[in-house]
């Protein structure tokens, strides 16, 4: 997962008319429609509308129910101006507002004639990271890959420590979010090519209508994940969130501002919510949604254009009056209970919830994977398709490869934020249960105290006394810390080019009393790997750096004239290069490392000189 790119201005799509108001537009991909639901979102309506016009939606359709702050009237005025469409969400008895709105939208002619549709909420703001930041370029890229939809994963944005109410834009106030690899925040929304005859709208993804399931229509559905890679087949039929294999943010993400400031949250708590959920806005919900572990300010690329369109909307006297009336009403309501015992109690509970480490937050009570329940959710068509793919694989079994699941986040974000964190002892070294550093698959053994246990024990037992060890790409320095504690006789030189990982290493070492010295050196980078190898003359090498392949290391060793006795490819490297693994054995054999030893084929592979393995 790439670090957030520096914010760049977004392409200008919206023109301002002679009357000072934004002009409606038709994009190169036809009618691209956003469908949403709102209740008492008055202070935020114009920002939401301005932002999504700037992003490139050509049609906004919003359903409202039970509004008391002018949200509905603002949308009606926007419809009069040709910039959005308002619909009353008439809710049948016993039904919740969101499903009711979707049922109405399914039959809405303006939705039905749309080319592309996306359903999302008022506290969700789409952020296109691809190309010029607009849907024009994103949809062009989707179509260029032969796809007709993209799965957009939530990115949970927290309060950023903001308590007081402010009129500043949501997308500029809240710039701290959950780590990309925090899987409890992986709900999705779907932008897809729409045909009301084939699709039924849904909150997270549409459903193929039953009459088409046994036709060839499912084979025509080709969706991408948020990084532009093919989405797994099952998601055509079920699911509402990304998983480790499908998550991606490189092209697009959905910024989810569920809490905002404490004051904003307090207003919402006493207002109610769109789905009538009892006591939804409690401290547990705050703990889940108030994630501030990573700064992500890429949304600022829209700031100038959004403000230009927002200011243009305010030139309409009706919208201007309704917008500021909504702000004043929210502030008056806040003044009613701010300073009361109930408000102070709420603030205390929320601040306590903010201090809960991210590893201790639960989205819902833990539930073990239930194969029978999953099978029950699968349609007959999906089961048949899955069985066919399984039979194809069985008929042509692939060559055995290291079955690697990555333990480390490949490109971790900056570790500048000092956030609450749970630490767990692994091989005598405390590690943070930090999703900025470790993938969901890595956090499971870490929290059980078994992180890279086999590798650490093998190294401690087998490395010769006084051995010179070079670790290329040491990550957060965990293996080095274990060796420093258990085998201080080993002379370690570590390389790590990623500054965010070096910062994490410093924090981990400081907590565990690991100090650099003659036997433990950390180098940030190198000019020439062959020259470095010739200078250090390591007897053992661990390759973790994902930017270097095994064969590239073998070539550097050959060029250095110094062949070690042992080379290990660690999980951090194998997780990236596992598909090219077959090139490694001959490459290392060419420099005399002919023994191929999978210490743990899912985690570490070793190549060594015959007859050199020794125990201390």
pLDDT along the chain (616 residues), means of 10: 58 96 95 97 98 98 96 98 97 94 98 98 97 97 98 97 96 96 94 97 96 93 96 92 93 97 88 48 89 95 97 98 97 90 92 94 65 65 64 52 71 86 97 96 95 92 94 97 97 96 96 96 90 96 96 97 94 88 93 82 83 55
Take residue 143 and report the two structure tokens written for it. 């179509």
How far is the C-alpha of 270 from the C-alpha of 277, rounded, in Å?
Answer: 13
Domain boundaries, the chain: 32-359, 423-608
Looking at residue 388, what DSSP letter applies? H
Which residues sit opposite 410 in a β-bridge? Answer: none
Answer positive or negative: Cα dihedral of 192, 194, 198, 203: positive
Phi and psi based region of residue 82 (left: phi greater than 0; alpha: psi -120 to 50; beta: remaining):
left
Helix (H), strand (E) counts: the chain: 21, 22
Distance in angstroms between the alpha carbons of the first and the last residue of the chain: 40
118 three-state secondary structure: strand
CA-closest candidate to residue 426, choices 451, 392, 458, 457: 451
Q: Name the one residue in this structure whose structure tokens are 């201790």.
A: 360
The confidence score (pLDDT) of residue 283 equals 87
Take residue 251 and report the two structure tokens written for it. 């092209």
How far is the C-alpha of 314 from the C-alpha of 589, rounded, in Å?
Answer: 71
Backbone angles phi, psi at 375, to 5 degrees: -60, -35
Take residue 290 and report the two structure tokens written for it. 């108030």
The confidence score (pLDDT) of residue 611 equals 76
549 three-state secondary structure: coil
Question: Helical H runs in 207-302?
Answer: 262-271, 283-289
Contact (Cβ atoms closer than 8 angstroms) between residue 439 and residue 406: yes
pTM (whole model) above 0.85: yes
Looking at residue 422, what DSSP letter applies? -
Q: CATH number of the domain at 423-608, out of 3.40.50.150, 3.30.750.24, 3.90.79.10, 1.10.20.10? A: 3.40.50.150
Q: Name the one residue in this structure whose structure tokens are 């989405």.
A: 231
Take residue 497 and report the two structure tokens written for it. 């080019």
Count CB-CB contacts under 10 A for residue 62: 26
Distance of CA 572 to the CA centre of its chain: 19
**Crossing angle, helix 262-271 and helix 317-337, to 10 degrees?**
90
CA-closest candidate to residue 362, choices 291, 432, 422, 285: 285
Instruction: Say if strands 188-193 and 429-432 run parallel, antiparallel, or are unpaired.
Output: unpaired
How far is the C-alpha of 119 from the C-alpha of 103, rounded, in Å?
Answer: 12
How far is the C-alpha of 185 from the C-alpha of 178, rounded, in Å?
Answer: 8
How far is the C-alpha of 162 from the C-alpha of 264, rounded, in Å?
Answer: 10
The confidence score (pLDDT) of residue 418 equals 83
Distance of CA 208 to the CA centre of its chain: 26
How far is the C-alpha of 214 from the C-alpha of 380, rounded, in Å?
Answer: 9
Angle at 401 between CA 396 and CA 402, to 5 degrees: 145
CA-closest candidate to residue 78, choices 136, 135, 24, 134: 24
Angle at 316 between CA 85 and CA 332, to 5 degrees: 90
CA-closest candidate to residue 96, choices 69, 66, 72: 66
The confidence score (pLDDT) of residue 3 equals 45
Query: Residue 231: how many CA atoms within 13 Å on its side-chain side?
Result: 34
H-run or E-run covering 559: helix 550-560
The confidence score (pLDDT) of residue 217 equals 95
Cα torsion through 168, 172, 177, 180, rounded to 10: 150
Query: Residue 183: how many CA atoms within 13 Å on its side-chain side?
Result: 14
Query: Residue 292: how many CA atoms within 13 Å on its side-chain side?
Result: 23
Count CB-CB contacts under 10 A for residue 299: 28
Answer positive or negative: Cα dihedral of 596, 600, 602, 604: negative
């Amino acid at each position: 997962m790439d670090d957030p790119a520096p914010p760049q201005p977004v392409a200008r799509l919206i023109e301002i008319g002679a009357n000072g108001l934004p002009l409606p537009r038709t994009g190169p991909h036809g009618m691209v429609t956003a469908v949403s639901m709102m209740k008492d979102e008055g202070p935020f309506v114009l920002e939401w509308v301005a932002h999504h016009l700037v992003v490139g939606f050509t049609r906004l359709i919003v359903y409202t129910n039970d509004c008391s702050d002018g949200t509905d009237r603002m949308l009606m005025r926007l419809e009069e101006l040709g910039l959005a469409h308002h619909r009353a969400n008439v809710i049948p008895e016993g039904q919740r507002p969101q499903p009711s709105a979707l049922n109405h939208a399914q039959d809405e002619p303006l939705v039905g004639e749309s080319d592309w549709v996306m359903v999302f909420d008022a506290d969700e703001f789409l952020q296109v990271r691809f190309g010029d930041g607009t849907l024009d370029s994103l949809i062009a890229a989707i179509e260029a890959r032969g796809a007709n939809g993209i799965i957009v994963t939530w990115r949970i944005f927290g309060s950023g420590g903001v308590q007081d109410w402010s009129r500043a834009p949501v997308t500029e106030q809240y710039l701290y979010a959950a780590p990309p690899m925090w899987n409890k925040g992986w709900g999705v929304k779907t932008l897809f090519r729409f045909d009301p005859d084939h699709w039924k709208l849904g909150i997270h993804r549409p459903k193929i209508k039953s009459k088409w399931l046994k036709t060839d229509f499912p084979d025509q559905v080709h969706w991408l994940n948020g990084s532009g890679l093919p989405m797994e087949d099952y998601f055509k039929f079920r699911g509402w969130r990304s998983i480790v294999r499908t998550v991606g943010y490189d092209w697009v993400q959905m910024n989810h501002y569920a809490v905002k400031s404490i004051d904003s949250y307090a207003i919402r708590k006493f207002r109610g919510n769109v789905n009538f959920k009892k006591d939804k806005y409690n401290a547990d919900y705050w703990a889940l949604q108030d994630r501030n572990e990573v700064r992500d300010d890429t949304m600022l690329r829209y700031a100038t254009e959004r403000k230009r369109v927002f200011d243009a909307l305010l030139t309409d006297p009706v919208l201007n009056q309704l917008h500021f009336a909504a702000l004043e009403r929210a502030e008056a309501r806040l003044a009613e209970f701010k300073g009361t015992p109930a408000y102070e109690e709420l603030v205390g509970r929320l601040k306590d919830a903010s201090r809960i480490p991210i590893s201790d937050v639960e989205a819902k009570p833990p539930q073990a994977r239930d194969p029978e329940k999953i099978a029950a959710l699968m349609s007959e068509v999906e089961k048949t398709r899955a069985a066919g793919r399984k039979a194809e694989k069985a008929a042509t079994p692939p060559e055995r490869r290291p079955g690697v699941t990555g333990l480390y986040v490949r490109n971790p974000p900056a570790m500048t934020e000092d956030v609450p964190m749970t630490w767990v002892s692994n091989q005598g070294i405390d590690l943070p249960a930090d999703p900025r550093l470790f993938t969901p698959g890595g956090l499971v053994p870490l929290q059980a105290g078994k992180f890279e246990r086999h590798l650490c024990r093998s190294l401690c037992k087998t490395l010769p006394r006084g051995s010179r060890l070079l670790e290329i790409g040491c990550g957060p320095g965990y293996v080095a810390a274990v060796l420093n504690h258990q085998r201080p006789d080993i002379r370690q030189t570590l390389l790590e080019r990623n500054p965010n990982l070096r910062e994490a290493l410093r924090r981990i070492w400081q907590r565990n009393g690991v100090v650099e010295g003659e036997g433990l050196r950390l180098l940030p980078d190198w000019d020439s790997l062959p020259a470095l190898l010739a200078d250090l003359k390591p007897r053992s090498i661990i390759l973790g750096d994902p930017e270097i392949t095994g064969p590239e290391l073998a070539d550097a060793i050959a060029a250095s004239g110094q062949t070690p006795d042992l080379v290990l490819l660690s999980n951090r490297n194998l997780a990236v290069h596992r598909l090219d693994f077959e090139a490694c054995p001959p490459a290392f054999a060419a420099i005399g490392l002919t023994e191929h030893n999978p210490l743990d084929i899912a985690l570490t592979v070793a190549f060594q000189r015959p007859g050199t393995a020794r125990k201390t």
